[in-house]
Amino acid sequence: MESWMIKHFSQANPAGIGQDDVPALLRRVADSIESLGLVEVQDLVMHTETTAHGGWPSLTVYFHDTEG
């Protein structure tokens, strides 16, 4: 059986005003993915936590390094 390791990170906007700005979150995550270099994204999972300031979405990105 073949196996491989998947890496991941989670990211959200700063807490407080604007924490629910999904377009801003997507831009932040895109910048983070680009900073990783050559990777293959396997999955994106969005979660939303409810806080005193309203919804607080976050994204978890699952990826692995590309070969070559």
Instruction: Give the burial class of 25: count Cβ atoms within 10 A of its Cβ; 0-12 exposed, 13-18 middle, 19 or more buried.
Output: buried
Mean pLDDT confidence for 8-28:
96
What is the identity of the amino acid at 66? T
pLDDT mean over 5-25: 95
The model's pLDDT over 26-62, given as tens digits with 9 standing for 90+, comes to 999 999 999 999 999 999 999 999 998 899 999 999 9
Listed in sequence order, the residues at least 6 apart from 47 whose beta carbon sits closer than 8 Å to its beta carbon are 57, 58, 59, 60
The whole-model pTM stands at 0.86
pLDDT at 3: 72
Q: Provide φ and ψ at 13, rounded to 5°.
A: -70, 160
Sheet holding 39-51, edge to edge: 7-12, 54-65, 39-51
What are the residue ranges spanned by the domains of the chain? 7-65
